Structure 1
């Protein structure tokens, strides 16, 4: 006999009071701050990490007061238009400020009390089976802009247990969600601390005892003026081109007939996920031995985005920290190799990602259809050069701060896997919570 014989087959429309969509007008790019203002949600308010009420814009005054599309605590929200990866995202609204409405790129669901638990419903809609149902009925001319009709979501099939069992399942999943959110909050704080530490390390450095030097206004005798502003007296300033082991090089273009085999080729997307090159988006491209020799990558290489759709992305520096195998890089990327007798690649990468270097890089970016920089621009960037021993100390302090972040990110990853496994078991009835209900019954 099936473990879920007491579960009911239904659709989304059977378990909700109503659904609602809103407008997508031109709005001021700010949050609401006056008590009479109303806001419209951005799709980024709905994430797999949960609900974010801060992701909204103030509505034009003529659209205020639309209470029928206002989001309430206990609603379930689903994105329905945008890039493929951002469509079908589901979240439960545990609490919210008032006067926020849904936009035309999302659907609000108001569950029927006593029939379906809102958190349980959000969990069901996030399952692979329901997500496949929705995405199989999503349309669009390109993956960057797809959508589905309201009826697709409303007709999505479900199987639900009795409400008491739903409530227990929701409590289990909510406990994990809380742990995930709290850990993510810790990560956000650690990232802020790391950024502050890096700013100090890259402008004040560390003394022979491994301690931060006092700031310039407290110990002016320890500093001197430079093209980068105040720097420690013991530091030098060079342009990047003066500390390179070889000339900068733009990447390789190969037609589609060479794709699908051969060494990995780093794509532009691999430069925008963190400090290090991300090979998850790399493709395999057949190259000749001489091309691999010329365009190959080594650990410690610095890569720069030659062009970017986003202004801040042009000229952004990342470092190669590992290689999955022989690898090259595509034509929109610039490679630089520093002389390690003068500067550590890790230090140079951190400096070029810092505030002072980012400010000078922005002055070099050309804006046309896309934002871009040239190899000459990259070579002109000024770098502060402490001694190698001080660079090592600075890199070590940075790594220590990053390790704390990595540890918390590993915890989040484990919690997400745990939640995913529990969702698959509990939301399908593979594991029942009835014994727990029986032991907690009065």
Structure 2
């Protein structure tokens, strides 16, 4: 148990230095060094500086996002000058930085629950006093860090596989929705068989495909509730724009509203299985089919489309709405600057090219077989994350001790 380990306050474990604002730019030169802000925590180097007056970070430092909605996030192995929204936690002798990083990540919810500030939330100023860190022997710290690092690398590798599959999916959709699948399930070839194709406003598509507008193949096009809702810990799922991604509804990341509130805000907006959700504000252009019967509500930034099933397969329509054709069209008709919006009026005008229903179903089956590969990889990530969560609980509390080679002691 961690009771066998001494505990020290965070301020005794690290020296904390808050970053400051220095001149920076998105342009990089030979003299530039990374200016580490929130984007760097996601692996994106977006700003650079030549200033010598900032707070410098070395790869062995632990960095924490100090200000903003995601304050409490931790990163390591970054080198540069930290911005004013970031703090450097430099380990004192006898502490392994990677062990500290894993421990602090495990305490993210603790830190978030104690944030201060009304407009922009901040890590609490007294974090160094209120957070205690268990101190296993240094060789054991290193061994714990190595085990968790290995899991992190496996998770990251699996995530890269998913990202590659999703990028490949976009190319696949382009081919399927411009060439179609013949009776044998093969992509038509416009080079060898140009007579099988025709030119349209959307480019070349197979003959026999029917041009339509979205409103002509839907019985209902509306949006989500315009009322402010109060979320609760448990209840009826409430979806935001961020819950519709890559052809899927991310139910596990939804908010919740009380059943009584659901009955009010969903009146006239009760989606059913095989309906389609399509994001129309901000991060617009993401579509997903509702694949199960479930009570839920959604914000007005999401549109709901009920397909006319005699003309269009709901899954095919969802795929079409995620196609490069429609993404380009959406970019052309979206209004505004800060939060670009596709109005329902414009959404109803979306151009659709409809293959015969039998061919629509072939396309759907082809895409579904590909998506199953993504599902398998995502299931693997879920297992790895659950394993890591359990290991963090066991290893960082000392409930399970790790073997350390004699040479390391």
TM-score after normalising by structure 2:
0.87
SS of residue matched to 2:307: coil
Q: Report if the CA contact (8 A) 1:267-1:330 is conserved.
A: yes
SS of residue matched to 1:418: helix
Displacement, 1:385? 0.7
- Aligned Cα RMSD in Å? 3.2
Structure 1 residue 110 corresponds to structure 2 residue 90? yes
Q: Report if the CA contact (8 A) 1:271-1:318 is conserved.
A: no
Displacement, 1:272? 3.6
Q: Report if the CA contact (8 A) 1:21-1:108 is conserved.
A: yes
Q: Report if the CA contact (8 A) 1:270-1:281 is conserved.
A: no
Q: Which moved more, 1:333-342 or 1:228-237?
A: 333-342
Structure 1 residue 198 corresponds to structure 2 residue 173? yes
Q: Which moved more, 1:204-213 or 1:422-431?
A: 204-213
- Residues 5-58 of structure 1: CA deviation (Å, up to 9, x unaligned): 3x2221233233x4433334575446x3x33222212313225xxxx2x33312
Q: Report if the CA contact (8 A) 1:269-1:281 is conserved.
A: no
Q: Which residue of 1 aligns with 2:332?
A: 363
Q: Which residue of 2 aligns with 1:249?
A: 222
Distance 1:291 1:109 in 2: 46
Q: Which residue of 2 aligns with 1:347?
A: 316
- Residues 178-215 of structure 1: CA deviation (Å, up to 9, x unaligned): 2111111211111111121111111121222212222x
Distance 2:148 2:168 in 1: 30
Distance 2:68 2:2 in 1: 39
Structure 1 residue 235 corresponds to structure 2 residue 230? no
Distance 1:238 1:42, change over 3 A: same
Structure 1, unmatched stretches of 5+, are none
SS of residue matched to 1:221: helix
- Residues 72-131 of structure 1: CA deviation (Å, up to 9, x unaligned): 222211111111xx11011232xx5x6x22111111222234x01111111111223x75
Q: Which residue of 2 aligns with 1:170?
A: 145
Distance 2:234 2:3 in 1: 50
Distance 1:441 1:318 in 2: 52
Q: Report if the CA contact (8 A) 2:273-2:292 is conserved.
A: yes
Distance 1:290 1:112 in 2: 56
Alignment counterpart, residue 320 of structure 1, candidates 290, 297, 305: 290
Distance 2:130 2:182 in 1: 66
Q: Report if the CA contact (8 A) 1:261-1:286 is conserved.
A: no
Structure 2, unmatched stretches of 5+, are none
Displacement, 1:437? 2.2
Displacement, 1:345? 1.0
Distance 1:213 1:241 in 2: 28
Displacement, 1:374? 3.0
SS of residue matched to 2:145: helix
Paired residues, what number?
407
Distance 1:219 1:111, change over 3 A: farther
Alignment counterpart, residue 36 of structure 1, candidates 31, 34, 37: 31
Q: Report if the CA contact (8 A) 1:304-1:318 is conserved.
A: yes
Displacement, 1:253? 5.0
Distance 1:399 1:103 in 2: 44
Alignment counterpart, residue 87 of structure 1, candidates 59, 71, 92: 71
Q: Report if the CA contact (8 A) 2:61-2:90 is conserved.
A: yes
Distance 1:198 1:346 in 2: 13
Q: Which residue of 2 aligns with 1:276?
A: 248
Distance 1:104 1:3, change over 3 A: closer
Q: Which residue of 2 aligns with 1:20?
A: 17
Distance 1:300 1:104 in 2: 48
Distance 1:288 1:424 in 2: 37
Distance 1:106 1:229, change over 3 A: same
Distance 1:156 1:190 in 2: 41
Distance 1:261 1:415, change over 3 A: closer
